[in-house]
Structures are given as C-alpha cells and as structure tokens.
Amino acid sequence: MTRRRADEAGTWVLAGAVALCLAAMLGLLGLLAGAGFAPLWPATISELHLHDGSTLLGEIVAVYDGAEALRISETDRIGGAYRRVPTADIAAQWQPADAIVLTLTDGRRLFGRGHAAEESTLLASASRPAEVLDIVRPNALGTFARFGVFARNLGRFFGTRPAASNLDGGVLPALIGTLTLVLVMSVIVMPLGIATAVYLHQRRGLGVRFVRGAINMLAGVPSIVYGVLGLGLFVHGLGADIDRWFYADRLPMPTFGSGGLLWAALTLALLTLPVVVVSVEEGLARIPVSLPEGSLALGATRDETLWHLLLPAARPALLTGLILAIARAAGAVAPLMLVGVVKLAPALPIDGSFPYLHPSRQFMHLGFVVYDAALASSDAIRGVSRAYACAALLVGVVIALNLSAILLRNRLRDRYRALET
Amino acid sequence: MLGNPATCESLLSPDFVRAAARSRLRRGRLRALLVNTGTAIALTGLLAIPLFLLGSLLPWTGFPATIWHRFDMLLAGTLRAAACAVLVAVPLGIATAMFTAHFCAPRLRAWIKPALEILEAVPTVVLGLIAAATLAPWLKTHVATVLALIVAVPAVLLAAGFAFGSRVRGEGWLPLWLLPLLIAGAAVGVAIAAHRPSAAIVPASPWNAMLVGLALGLAALPLVFSIAEDALFLVPRVQTQAAFALGATRWQALTSVLLPAAGSGLVAAALLGLSRCLGETMIVLMASGNTPIAGFDPLVGLRSISADLALGMPETAPTSEAYRSLLLAALALLVLTVLLGSIADFVRERLRRRLHADGHA
Amino acid sequence: MLSSIPEFPSSSIAPAGSAENADTALRTEDLSLWYGARQALDRVDLAIPARRITALIGPSGCGKSSLLRCLNRLNDEIAECRVDGRVLIGDTDAYAKDTLVHDLRRRIGMVFQRPNPFPLSIHDNVAYGLRLLGIRHRRELDERIEAALKSATLWDEVAARLDDSAFSLSLGQQQRLVIARALAVEPEILMLDEPASALDPVSTLRFEELLHELAQRYTLLLVTHNMQQAARVSDFTAFMHQGCLIEFGDTDALFTNPRERRTEDFITGRYG
C-alpha cells in the first residue's frame, strides 16, 4: 500500500511539472498582454501634496519599497522630469478630475489642471516649444472615452513614425521593415526549399543522404552563427565585390558592402531553409501512395505526377512550411544585428520611388526595437514600456502564424484520412 | 474504341503519342534541371557556413595568448549560462513529457502539445525583455525565495500525492487541478517573501547566470519536451499494456517499461536542449550583463560566445585580429552544436529503428 | 503462341473453349518476378483474349496483384523488383528498351482496390490524363470528359456538379469516376484489382453491370477474391497459386469441371 502511495506521489510531481509549464506559459502571455497594452491606455494623473508644502502633478510610473517614482511635466526634454518621492514625505495624494495631459509632437508630456483656457498657458510653460499632438483629461474619462483614447493611441502606434529617438510615436517603419524582410526572405527560401524537398522525395542514393545530413546538421546551428556568415561572407565578401564592380563611383561609401535588406533576407533564408524542407518533404510523404500510383497508371511520368498531382496536393504543407519559416524569421533578431538592422533607419526599404524595393538599405525591425528600447534608451521607463508594446505585437504576429500552421496541418491530415486504407 | 465525338481525333494515333511524348520528356528534363539547381544552391548556402569559417581561419595559424585567455572566459560564461538553463529545462521538460505521454488524458494532451509549441514560438528577444526588465529587479532580492520554492514545490507535491493521491480519481487531469493550487501557492510564497525582502543571498549583480538560466531554461523547455515526448510516445502501446496485465501500476509501467525503452531518447532531448542553450543569443545578451567573468558562481554576471559575436562583430574591422578571434568563437559554437546535434540524431535514429522493429515483432 | 508448352506448374496458356477464336490482347511469356530475394511470380504464361472479361482468382498472396503491376510496369517504381520474361501488349514488347513506359501505362488502364480519386474536382479528375497528353482546348476536353463519364455510367449523376470535389461522391461513384478517368485516355485494356471490395452490395451489382457494358469495347482483366463474382461476371478465369498459373479456361468449365486438384480445392472452399 505504501508502495502504491509512493507511486501516486511521483505522479503528482510529474503533474506538478506540467502545471508549472502551463503556468509559465499563461503567465508569459498574461504579462505580455498586460504590460504590452498598458502604455496605450490613458494614464491616471495624480497630485501629491508633500509635507514641505509643495505639490507635484504627474503620472506615477513605479512604486517600490519606500518611494514612488513620478513623471512630471517634461518642459525641457523627454525623459528628463522624473521625481523619486519617499512615501514618508507624502502628506496627501489624489487624482484631480480636471487634470490635463498635453502630448507634444516630440513625445514630451505636459501636465496641468484647470479649464480649457489652461491648455495654452500649459503649452507656454514648456521651455522648448513644440506642436500639440493630443490633449486628454484622463481622470475625467468615462469607460467609452477611455477606449476611444486607447484606439487613438493604438492607431498612432501602428500608423506613425517614431518620435524622440524611438521613445515615443509609432512603430510603422519597424513593422514595414519586418514585413518587407520576411517577404523577401520568403521569395528566396520557398523555391530553394521546395526544390530541395522534391529532390529528397524523388531521388535515391548517396546525394540524398548527403543533402539530408547537411540539413539535419545545420538545422540546430544557432542563429547567431548564420549572422556571422551573413556579415563575413555576404556583406564583407559578396557585398564588397559588388561595390567594387558596380558602385565604384560611390566608394568609399558602401552600397552593398554594409548590412542591408538583401543580406539580412538571404541570411534568414538560410536559417529557415531546414524548416521549409522538412515541412514540405513531410507533406509529400504523407500523401497516400494510392494517389501517385493512380497517376502513374494513367500514363503520367514520375515527374508529371509530382508536379501536377503531389505538389498541388501538398499545398497545405507548403503553406505550413512558409508560415513556420516566417514565424522563425520574425523572431530571429540576433543574426539581424550583424547584417543590417538599425535603431533608426533614415528611409524605408520599400517606398514609392523607383525601384520601389531597395535591397541595399538598412532597415528597422520590431524585434530589434524590443532589444534596443529595453536596454539602450535614454529614458528607461518609457523604453521598457515601449519594448513591451512591441513585444506584445511581435508575439501576437508569431502566435497567429503558428496557430494557422497548426490548423493547416490538421486540415491536411483530415483530408487524406479518407484515402488511407 | 471509345465513342468520342467525330470532331476529336483518336489519341491512339502513333504520331500524336510520339509528338506529345517528345515535348513531355523535354519539359521533364527542364523540371529536373530546376530541382537540381535549386538543391545545389540550397546545399551551397548551407555548406557555406562551415566552409567559410574554416576557410577564413585556416591560413591564420597562431593566436596570441590574450585572445585564448579571452576565449576561455567566453567559453566558461557560455557553459555556465547553459548549465543553469539545462538545470531548469531538462527536469521540467522531461517530467512534463513523462506525464503527457503516459498519464495524461488524451483530450488534455491535445491541448498541452500546441500550448508548448506556442511557447516555443515566442521570440527569445521577448523572453530576454522579461528577464531584463521584470525578472531581474525582482530576483535581486528574491534569490532565496526562488531556491526555497525549488525545494518546497516538489516536496509539497510529494507529500500531497502521498496523502491524497489514492483518493483522487482521474489522474489524467491532475495538472488542471494543480494549476490554480500552484499559482495560489506561489503567489502566497512570493507575497510572504515580499514583506521581508530576504538578505540571505544577495547576488553580486542583478544580471547573473541564475537569471539567464531561468529565462533560457524557459526557452529551451519546449524543445526538450517535444523530443522527449516523441521518444516516449514511440514506445509501442503493447509493451506498457503487457506491464499492466502483469499488475503493474502506471508509475511502475513508466519506470520498468517506458524509461528503459525510451531512455536514450530522453538523453537526446537533454543534449539538444543543451545545444540550444549554448547558442541562444538574445536572452544572454539582455540578461547576463555581458562582462567576461570566469568561475562557477551562478550569481555573478557572464559574457557568452553568442553575445560576444552579436556585440563585437559589427564593430570590428574585417582584417583585424579581433575579427579572426570572433570567427574562431563562431566556429567553436558551430562545432559544439553540430557535435551535440549529431550525437542526439544518432541516438534518436537508433531508438526509432529499434522501437519500430519491436513494434512489428 | 509458344512453341513448347512448359510443364507443370506453369501449365497451359491457351484457355480452353471459345477463347481460341478470339484475338489476344495481352500475352505473357515465361514471366517471373522477384521482390529482392522473394519470388512473387514463377514463369507465368497467359494469353488474355480481347474484348472479354478475364478473371484472376486465387488465395491472397498468390501473385494476382503482382501480375497486374507487371503488365503496366508499375513495379518499376519498387526499387528491389526484378522481372524476367516477356509481356506483349498487342504487338508491343512492354519491357523492350525503346518502349515509352508512360504510353504503355496509358494503353492499360488500371483501377485499384480502393477508389483513389485525386484531390481535385470531378471534372479535373477526368481531365488529368487528357491534359498530360497535351489536350488543352476547353471544348475538346469537355467533350472527351462527357464521353468518358457516360461510358462509366456516371454522367447523369454528376453532370450538374462537375466542379465539386471528387471526395463528395459515394464510394461506388468514386470507383466509377476512377474508371471514367482511365477511359478518358482511351486505353485498350482495363485492369481492375479487386475493384468492388470497398463497395456495398448494391453498388457492387451496379458495378458488375458496368463491367459487362465495358467488355463490349475493352479487354477487361479482373482480379477478385470473390469467386461468385468471378463466376457471375467473367468469360474466362485464371487460377493462380503461390506465384504460378495453375489453370486457365472458360469460366463455366473451370468452375464446374476443374482440371486441377488445387483449383477444385480452392473453388470448393477448402483453402484460400
């Protein structure tokens, strides 16, 4: 009996491990959803009355043992108006309903109180003038109005360029950079991946074992090593050669000889190649043998069977491979740091001027914004909340991609169940 | 022959067949050419990695001692971070795999697997952000709390299982019962600790190997889980069923049949988890402090090879000695991961063949 | 015909009775087949009369399906497979060096045990083989598809929904669709490998009627494990056992008065 109870105890520990994993995942998603959207909600404004008789108006950004951190009006520069107030010094604290928040175009915020007339005096109080972007009275907002402000902030976040060296404003260039990169990468990796998968599916012998071995081995190589290849071979090697041959007049300014969209896309294409090959080959292998046999018996060659029947039938697998590759590429930041991602790009890699796609341009990337805003920004508090917002966006995109890949895979499985004997 | 309308000529005319065959074969050759070219390009790209690294390092015979010394520090840092992460990922991943493959209700299993797949898809830069911005300030004062939880949670579970285990029906759903209890318990523990920040263990730096280990372990966990679960699930049902027929409990079937049969698969899972931890960049870059410190203390900072590459490569001139030393570090990383991957592949392949043979016997 | 009749076990090639008057559509000479080291066919000599239904019967694993796959060289796809002997389709040597394998397979339609429609629309299933032959013209395609579906007695049921997925059809309809797909490329011979085994009794009956109609224009070679079916449907029957052709003759004669002991044992149900 004791033996049996000891067994149960072991089972409970294993179940605890499962619960812990689930808890970690839920906690992670919860944290991202919470901290990611927090910067977009209108923040409550507090007024602090201190024991020495002074008052402070601002947004409480952190509470830690024995003190509160307060952001007051940024009259001079963004991130330059934080106050650490020991809790012991605070006599009273409340949220005045007539508090005004003025957001300026350079990202600074001014806090004040009073009627509409106060807004212009508030603006005049700034030692460095700027245009007003937005005026909100956050403490007086009803639920619907709060959602309205949230939606407006969300629109700004998606649809505008960054302001104040990436501390404020939108992430549009990073979003466009990420999407363009992934698009160019897909255009490179899909034909190569499909060709390789077809080769592995169709042929027998030594070549197949060699290719398969190379893919298996390199599938586990860390992404940073791909980045080293991208920098060393593509940028310093190929890029420098291209510059010498075709852009000699611009030297020593590098064109392709420095990191850029094309090299980053090539690097990511190599990184995701194993994912595509494995997925497509699995899709081809999953098709029941009765289909190719039926086609051969009709007088199709093996080659025609593959192109006219098997590849179209494996379309969901192709799509799954593409989606997984995109998800992997969207999350790979380390190699990009070597081959052309920048904190602030002067121009988008894709725009309205000929040739529309500019493969040699440097670009911005959501994942890199997360890294850069969290660790290297001049205003750590704004930086971290901005990093969380970008992280939530990135994870949202990647999870959506992965979910659709899982659904597609299940659909593919269901479709051929009817044919399996 | 077939009663085709008079407008259609018969397909059987030999001229027609021959003409069609010629163009069909020509098209086939073209497609074969496309496939071969594509494969060749893909293969060239993949093989370019080792060839490029070897090619640029071979003509370079000797490095000065300072470079080797620095390399040692980086390697030590990499190994320390990976070791901490493996301590988190491997026990948790393999325990989860054991439960999911052997005890779990099928409907719960159908949810756990995609859930962990999604965890795997979370970009590591996000985990790095959480480690650096949220976990690091908290861990600074709570090292003792974490260590206490690591001991207390399994102990409490063991005790609870011993006391109530035989009274609970449907152990396949146990994790769902434990989930709220675990969250509540952890929250209570953290709340108690929050009132009296423990000064028992104070890390030398808020960026340390333990912090890296927690985040990196979470990143490697899904990989360890999925490979271990595959290995355990590969063991034919008949074998465990035979153990049940002999009167074994589920736990006994696990330890006497499943683990011996799939043990090498679990080793492979651990190796691949280690390989993943060695090369991971963003988490280490964001949570380790990036100061090269040797030694085994998990509470001091470190600088790993991968982070060194990410920070150093863009700022080093391609002809300098420092650049070569970075290439050397990249080669070391490549060799380590390919080696671990090959061993794991070999072990898994052998396991698959053996279990497959058993399954048909 | 062969000059010398081999001794037992690969016995007679010419079916007794009226078959001698019919043309021969397909003939095997000394056909042997190995999968690796295992011999699946042992010196089979067979002459299939044109525009008749010939049934192949025998216990499972006797080499019936292997024989079919030899005739249209579908065995070529199996790496460790070796063939010895001759197969003549009309006057084409199937295993000659200059034979176009894909054209050979077009001339011999094949229907499998389970219906295997392609994951395409009904229309595109039938169009598949035609498009391979380079027929792209919309009107010609449609005419040929209609004719093929009519020959397989499926036209009336699907005329209104040609663009639906082939999987939306019932199993019996799927099997007729597969036949229409084979007929569209104008084969000379139609081989059916236990085509009714996945069908319910009503569909089976309907299917057998279709076979009778097809036999007026095509040579049919039917593998079946169902002896009642062989007796009902076929004109001639060949009995195979362990890779050897034991007996081949007029169906009525073979079932009522088998010459070989093993044939008798099989049709009376002593083994198989």
pLDDT of B198: 58
Q: Let me know: does C44 contact C32? Beta carbons within 8 Å.
A: yes
Band the pLDDT of C12: cuts 50, 70, 90: very low
Give the integer Cα–Cα distance in Å for B357 and A59: 68
Average pLDDT taken over every residue of chain C = 86
Task: Please name the residues between 135 and 164 in chain C that touch chain B, using a CB distance below 8 Å.
Answer: 140, 143-144, 147-148, 150-151
**Which backbone phi and psi does C164 adopt, to 5 degrees?**
-70, 160
Tell me, yes or no, if A33 comes closer than 8 A to chain B by beta carbon: no
Q: Let me know: does B295 contact B72? Beta carbons within 8 Å.
A: no
pLDDT single digits (tens) C174-233: 999 999 999 998 899 999 998 888 888 888 998 899 999 999 989 999 998 888 889 999
Q: Which of A221, A215, A184 is nearest to A199 (CA)?
A: A215
Neighbours of chain B (3+ CB pairs under 8 A): A, C
Give the integer Cα–Cα distance in Å for C31 and C2: 13
pLDDT of B101: 92
The residue type at A394? L
Residue range B207-217: mean pLDDT, rounded: 93
Report angle CA B232, B237, B239 to the nearest 5 degrees: 90
The closest CB to that of A399, out of B118, B252, B279, belongs to B118
The closest CB to that of A303, out of B32, B118, B249, belongs to B32
**Domains within chain A, CATH numbers bracketed:** 45-151 (no CATH), 172-420 (1.10.3720.10)
pLDDT of B218: 95
The full DSSP string for A193-212 is HHHHHHHHHH--SHHHHHHH
Average pLDDT taken over every residue of chain A = 87
Q: Is the bond preceding residue A254 a cis peptide, omega within 30 degrees?
A: no
Instruction: Flag if A195 and B47 touch (Cβ within 8 Å).
Output: no
pLDDT single digits (tens) A336-386: 999 988 888 777 887 877 788 888 888 899 999 999 998 887 888 888 989
Instruction: Flag if A192 and B225 touch (Cβ within 8 Å).
Output: no
pLDDT single digits (tens) C43-71: 999 999 999 999 999 888 888 888 999 99
Token reading at B306: 């991968």
Region of A161 please: left (phi>0), alpha (psi -120 to 50) or beta: beta
Lowest mean pLDDT among A33-37, A115-119, B76-80: A115-119
Percent of the residues in chain B that have a pLDDT greater than 90, as a whole number: 41
Task: Please name the residues between 57 and 76 in chain B that touch chain A, using a CB distance below 8 Å.
Answer: none
On chain A, the residues whose CB falls within 8 A of the CB of B216 are none
Distance from CA of B6 to the nearest CA of A (A): 24
pLDDT single digits (tens) B337-357: 999 999 998 998 888 888 876
Give the integer Cα–Cα distance in Å for C248 and C13: 7
Instruction: Flag if A233 and B310 touch (Cβ within 8 Å).
Output: no
The residue type at C264? E
The closest CB to that of B20, out of C133, C150, C183, belongs to C133
Please give the ipTM for the structure prediction: 0.90
Which residues are CB-contacts of A219 (< 8 A; sequence separation ≥ 6)? A274, A275, A278, B341
Distance from CA of B223 to the nearest CA of A (A): 11
Task: Please name the residues between 18 and 57 in chain B that touch chain A, using a CB distance below 8 Å.
Answer: 24-25, 28, 31-32, 34-39, 41-43, 45-49, 52-53, 56
Polymer length of chain A? 421
Residue C231, CB-side half-sphere exposure with 13 Å CA sphere: 11
Give the integer Cα–Cα distance in Å for B80 and B304: 9
Q: Let me know: does B273 contact B90? Beta carbons within 8 Å.
A: yes
Residue B211, CB-side half-sphere exposure with 13 Å CA sphere: 35
Distance from CA of C37 to the nearest CA of B (A): 20
Give the integer Cα–Cα distance in Å for A367 and B256: 46
Residue range B282-289: mean pLDDT, rounded: 92
Give the integer Cα–Cα distance in Å for A27 and B218: 12
Average pLDDT taken over every residue of chain B = 86
Lowest mean pLDDT among A171-180, B22-31, B337-346, C10-19: C10-19
Q: In what order do the strands lie in the sheet with A109-113?
A: A109-113, A99-104, A132-136
The closest CB to that of A20, out of B31, B92, B342, belongs to B92
**Which backbone phi and psi does B224 adopt, to 5 degrees?**
-60, -45
Instruction: Flag if C114 and A290 touch (Cβ within 8 Å).
Output: yes
pLDDT of B283: 95
pLDDT single digits (tens) C110-133: 999 889 999 889 999 999 999 988
Other C-beta atoms lying within 10 Å of the C-beta of residue C7: 8
Task: Please name the residues between 65 and 124 in chain B that touch chain C, using a CB distance below 8 Å.
Answer: none
Residue range B73-100: mean pLDDT, rounded: 94
On chain C, the residues whose CB falls within 8 A of the CB of A300 are 102, 128-129, 132
- Integer-rounded Cα Rg, in Å, for chain A is 28
Report angle CA B103, B250, B260 to the nearest 5 degrees: 95
Helix, strand, or coil (residue A64):
strand
**Domains within chain B, CATH numbers bracketed:** 65-140+204-360 (1.10.3720.10), 141-202 (no CATH)
pLDDT of A122: 78
- Integer-rounded Cα Rg, in Å, for chain B is 28
Which residues are CB-contacts of B244 (< 8 A; sequence separation ≥ 6)? B250, B253
Give the integer Cα–Cα distance in Å for A357 and A58: 45
Band the pLDDT of B5: cuts 50, 70, 90: very low
**Choosing among C118, C125, C181, C194, which should be mutated to test the A contact, i.e. which has the most A CBs within 10 A?**
C118
The residue type at B209? A
Report how far apart, in Å, the C-alpha atoms of B185 and of each of A19, A20, A105, B174, C255 are.
12, 12, 47, 16, 80
The residue type at A317? A
pLDDT of A270: 95
Q: Let me know: does B127 contact B219? Beta carbons within 8 Å.
A: yes
pLDDT single digits (tens) A385-414: 899 999 999 999 888 888 888 888 777 777
Instruction: Flag if B4 and C147 touch (Cβ within 8 Å).
Output: yes
Tell me, yes or no, if C102 comes closer than 8 A to chain A by beta carbon: yes
Max avg pLDDT among A102-106, B79-83, C40-44: B79-83
Helix, strand, or coil (residue B12):
coil
pLDDT of A378: 80
- Is residue B154 scored above 50 in pLDDT? yes
Residue range B200-221: mean pLDDT, rounded: 89
The closest CB to that of B20, out of C134, C148, C217, belongs to C134
The full DSSP string for A331-353 is H--TGGGTTTB-SS-SS-SB-SS
Strand A162-163 and strand A168-169: the pairing is antiparallel
pLDDT single digits (tens) A220-277: 899 999 999 999 999 988 888 888 888 878 777 777 878 889 999 999 999 999 999 9
pLDDT single digits (tens) A156-201: 888 888 876 777 778 899 999 998 999 999 999 999 999 999 999 9
Tell me, yes or no, if A38 comes closer than 8 A to chain B by beta carbon: no
Give the integer Cα–Cα distance in Å for B325 and B63: 8
* Greatest Cα-to-Cα distance within chain A, rounded to the nearest angstrom: 95
Q: Let me know: does A161 contact A170? Beta carbons within 8 Å.
A: yes
Helix, strand, or coil (residue C25):
strand
Tell me, yes or no, if B21 comes closer than 8 A to chain C by beta carbon: yes
Q: Which of C249, B125, B145 is nearest to A32 (CA)?
A: B125
pLDDT of B21: 82
Helix, strand, or coil (residue C32):
strand
